[in-house]
Amino acid sequence: MAAQYVISGSTAKGITASVEQAVADGGLAPGAALPPVRRLADDLGVSAGTVATAYKELRQRGIVVTRGRGGTVVAQAPAVGTRRPPKAPQGVRDLAGGHPDPELLPVLLPPARVEPVNGSHRGSPRLAGLEERAREWFARDGVPDSGVTFAHGALDCMARLLSVELKPGDTVAVEDPGFHHLLDLVPALGLRMAPVAVDDEGIRPEALRGALRAGARALVCSPRGQNPVGGHFTAERRDALLDALAGHPDVLVVEDDHNADIAGAAPHSLATGGLPRWAQVRTVSKHLSVDLRWAALACDATTLARHEGRMLLTSGWVSHVLQETVERTMADPAAREVVRRAERVYGERRAALIRELAGHGIAARGASGMNVWVPVRDESAAVNGLRSRGWWVAAGARFRIAAPTGVRITASALGPADAGRLAADFAAVLGESEATYGG
């Protein structure tokens, strides 16, 4: 039970601020229970309705969740403060970040001169040359390119799409396990999450049907290079998912194809299936540079208009200096060759790690992308055991809602010899864990 002195306030706004501050400061940890509404109302000398209003606001903002008879508790990833993944300890090999190998990124080509801007770019937010390249990028994989615009990265784009399409309390179907930043973003927007199970072919049709029956108003998914499991749509899986969506024309389907050029998997996009409401987001941070915070968005006309309208009211446009750097780099033959090599090498490294783990009897998943997902019974034991042997991997808790436990290993910079050593160490750690805690 939360300590009574932690929460104060005589109005709903004051109570909300008190809880939010306690969560941000660590006074209320994830999973901590808040007092029942009537008890807190009596303690603070306010009406039960005032406390109920405060709790509702906290739920809509993703700070707390309600668990029926379990009461109201602080969310596992409360949407307050600045939360970053734990830094890799000194002296260990960092395989937790999900980043590309710097040796497999091209040299960027920014403009040699940047002329002064006269006024604003709101009237022409997109460079014509980059817009044309973006259209070609989508069309290459069969994604309709009649409506294309830009954003400041994938999460910026998805936040704008969800905030203009949905209202607080609406439900978004998300992959489970899935991209941890998206799992933080959705509740931060005041939205609910419906977890959808994934396998090596991406989201499972029966799980999606369940989320749709439960009232999901939007779906966010990855057609390939899924993070963290690495699944990718096959033609058969895409068709099955389109069949599940057929009776829900008002559901907005957002595809995050952030690994489009290095996923190592053929494109089988839901966007090719004639959906009435859809969007696909692509970024360049994984294959050109983590410093290029730019995303291209292809979508239906209604979604385009709503995204553009909100963009004009906020940041207005993506920096033309950034746009020109992206365009010049995308057009460079040497850069394109580096990207082609990166896709091949990432596939080899991912396969090598899975093979080495299998040699020790450890099952792992990673059909595409840069990461490998390893199911384990005890995430903490696996992470800490590997740390003691010089490896730093990501605990699966950041990526899961209801999915089974596991750890994520980024294989992008892991050579074959390193994969063999890691697999041997992993087997030793699992053996020690079973000896300590039972099989």
pLDDT at position 222 over 60: yes
pLDDT tens, 162-174? 999 999 889 999 9
Q: Is 46 left (phi over 0), alpha (psi -120 to 50) or beta?
A: beta
Distance CA 291, CA 322 (A): 10
**In this structure, what are the phi and psi dihedrals at residue 17, rounded to the nearest 5 degrees?**
-65, -40
Tell me: the pLDDT tens digits for 237-287? Answer: 999 999 999 999 999 999 999 999 999 999 999 999 999 999 999 999 999
Between 238 and 5, the more confident residue is: 238
- Quickly state the pLDDT bin for 114 (edges 50, 70, 90): confident
Query: What average pLDDT is seen over the chain?
Result: 92
Q: Identify whether the C-beta of residue 419 lies closer than 8 Å to the C-beta of residue 352.
A: yes
* Confidence at 65, pLDDT banded by 50, 70, 90: confident
Going by C-alpha positions, the residue among 281, 410, 297, 289 that lies closest to residue 339 is 289
**Span of 58-62, 188-192, 217-221, 347-351 with lowest mean pLDDT:** 58-62
pTM given for the model: 0.85
Supply the CATH classification number for the domain 10-72: 1.10.10.10
Q: What is the pLDDT of residues 130-177, one digit of tens each?
A: 999 999 999 999 999 999 999 999 999 999 999 999 998 899 999 999
Q: Are 225 and 369 in contact (CB under 8 A)?
A: yes
φ and ψ at 249, to 5 degrees? -65, -20
DSSP category for residue 290: T
Strand-pair partners of 93: 391
What is the structure's pLDDT at 434? Answer: 59
**Are 143 and 269 a contacting pair, CB within 8 Å?**
yes
Contacts of 344 (CB under 8 A, 6+ apart): 264
At residue 216, the pLDDT reads 97
> 10-72 with 122-331: one CATH topology?
no
Q: Which two tokens stand for residue 16?
A: 């909300």
Q: In the structure encoding, which two tokens stand for residue 59, read together? A: 């739920």
Q: Does domain 91-99+333-435 have CATH number 3.90.1150.10?
A: yes
C-beta separation of 406 from 177 below 8 A:
yes
- Enumerate the β-bridge partners of residue 176: 197
Residue 122 DSSP SS3: coil
Look up residue 333 and give its amino acid. Answer: P
The beta strand positions in 60-159, using DSSP E, are 64-66, 72-74, 93-94, 148-151
**From the centroid of its chain, how far is CA 24?**
22
Give the domain ranges of the chain.
Answer: 10-72, 91-99+333-435, 122-331
- Is pLDDT at 23 greater than 90 in this prediction? no
pLDDT at 2 over 60: no
What is the per-residue pLDDT across 206-217, written as a single tens digit (0 to 9) for each?
999 999 999 999
Q: What is the pLDDT of residue 1?
A: 39
Q: Please tell me the distance from the alpha carbon of residue 321 to that of residue 365, in angstroms, as a whole number.
A: 39
Q: Assess whether pLDDT exceeds 90 at residue 59.
A: no
pLDDT at residue 296, rounded to an integer: 98
122-331: CATH, from 3.40.640.10, 3.90.190.20, 3.10.20.30, 1.10.8.50: 3.40.640.10
- pLDDT tens digits, residue range 382-393? 999 999 999 999
Predicted local distance difference test score (pLDDT) of residue 3: 43
Element (H, E) at 272: none
Provide, rounded to the nearest whole percent, the portion of the chain with pLDDT above 70. 95
